[in-house]
Structure 1
Amino acid sequence: MHRRLAIALLGLLGWAFSAAAEAGLRCDGRLVQLGDRQYDVLSLCGEPDYQTPLYASAHPYLLVPQVEEWQYNFGPHRFIRILRFQDGRLTQIRTGGYGYHAPARERCPPQTLRRGLSVIELLGRCGEPDHRELRSEQYLFDHRRHPPISVAVPVEDWYYEFGPGQFYRVVRLVDGQVVAVDTGRRR
């Protein structure tokens, strides 16, 4: 009986520490917390390694939250941190994979390109794309007090070449994440 209680307490303690880790971030020993302004985060952590605008209002009379995501690469021995801001305030802190020293110099193998990678993980593994295309797609934003409205969401397509005789890949990014990888023509 005591053993089960000890295991349950250890599990609860681990959950509490992981929840606390997600609620804050340390930049050079200084704490960034949910609710902080973008300016405060900039002054504590510096410029993010990558910024992604997620969506903005497409309706002139309704206020849709302005949402932006910042990604910080703290090096190969620490995790990438992904911060989401809504209307200029920090609303979410997530943890990505391990960071990296510098963007990749050599082209990654095509199988490295997969769904779920963050933009900064993609850059760290595969480097800059050979070509980028930016467009917006319309999605319905369901506001509680009003009928749904159309919201423009930025979508990026990144093109990676793998040499003569190889198929190129098109990596689709939405909300700072890889959502699809398509195969193009053979070069």
Structure 2
Amino acid sequence: MTRYRLFIALILLMTCTSAHALRCGNRVVDEGDRDFQVRERCGEPFWTESWFGVDIIGRHSPLERHREIEWIDWYYNFGPNALMQRLRFRDGVLYAVESLGHGVRALGEKCRPNMNFIGLSSGELVARCGTPSSRRDARESTVFRPARGIEEWRERNVQEWVYDFGNNQLNRILLLIDGKVSQAEASPR
């Protein structure tokens, strides 16, 4: 019996993927894969979102370099019996894989005016409610000055999305910060 359990454990160990990997059909994508490889294995995402950041190399040294980094989130919906996935790329290389809430049969079919929007990512929001009827984007910079001569810059992506629920319903105005809903309010049509 012990050999049988050892054999099963060995088989399971050989077939496991890393905790940060994603299985697309019979193919696997993992951190470090390039965006074209992921697209080839998983297909087109249903929603993407991109922004730029800055890496500062050599801060507070005689030579300081600033390098622009492109970040892109891809969202995949594998249906209501599976979790949606967010794949984050840094300069075209898969940086992180994150499981989200359950997927949907069709984009936009699970939206209700009174649902709890707080904490949803932009991809989950699009999956449940479709694209917003109105969208405004802005960028904010925050500067921290912990001591004289020291500055730390942080960028925030701020978006306002409006969903119109039709006659006799209130609009929902959602504030998204860095791709997540942080506020939701009702507004008359």
Q: Give 1:151 deviation, angstroms.
A: 4.8
2:66 aligned to which of 47, 62, 87:
62
Q: Deviation digits for residues 99-152 of structure 1, max 9, x if unmatched? A: 11212258x33221421112232123222222111221223599xxxx545354
Q: Cα gap change, 1:22/1:140 in structure 2, threshold over 3 Å: closer, same or farther? A: farther
Length, aligned pairs only: 165
The code of the aligned residue for 2:133 comes to D
- Equivalent residue for 1:90, pick from 73, 87, 94: 94
Instruction: Give unmatched runs, 5+ long, in structure 2.
Output: 1-12, 57-63
Higher helix share: 1
Alpha carbons of structure 1 residues 99 and 40: separation in structure 2 relative to 1, 3 Å: same
Equivalent in 99, 105, 120 of residue 101 of structure 1: 105
Give the direction of change, closer, same or farther, for the CA distance of 1:139–1:64 in structure 2 (3 Å limit): farther
Out of 155, 163, 185, the position equivalent to 1:182 is 185
Of 79, 93, 102, the match for 1:75: 79
Partner SS state of residue 124, structure 2: helix
Change (3 A) 1:160 1:26: same
**Counterpart of 2:140 in 1: which secondary structure?**
strand
Indicate the structure (1 or 2) with the bigger Cα radius of gyration: 2
Separation in structure 2 between the aligned mates of residue 170 and residue 35 of structure 1, nearest angstrom = 37
Q: 1:38 maps to which residue?
A: 35
Amino acid at match of 2:104: Y
Scaled by the length of structure 2, the TM-score of the pair is 0.72
Q: Tell me: CA distance 1:58–1:160, structure 2 relative to 1, closer, same or farther (3 Å).
A: farther
- Structure number with the bigger relative contact order (C-alpha 8 A, sep ≥ 6) is 1
Runs of 4+ residues deviating >6 angstroms: none
Q: State the match for 2:8 in structure 1.
A: none
Deviation at 1:31, TM superposition (A): 0.7
Q: Tell me, in whole angstroms, the C-alpha distance in 2 between the residues paired with 1:165 and 1:112.
A: 17
User: In 1, are the aligned partners of 2:55 and 2:67 still within 8 Å (CA)?
Assistant: no
| Amino acid across the alignment from 1:68 | I
CA RMSD in angstroms, aligned pairs only? 3.1
Give ranges in structure 1 of 5+ residues lacking alignment: 1-15
1:48 & 1:69 partners in 2: Cα distance? 9
CA spacing shift, 1:43–1:131, aligned 2, 3 Å: same
User: In structure 2, how many angstroms separate the alpha carbons of the residues matched to 1:177 and 1:126?
Assistant: 14
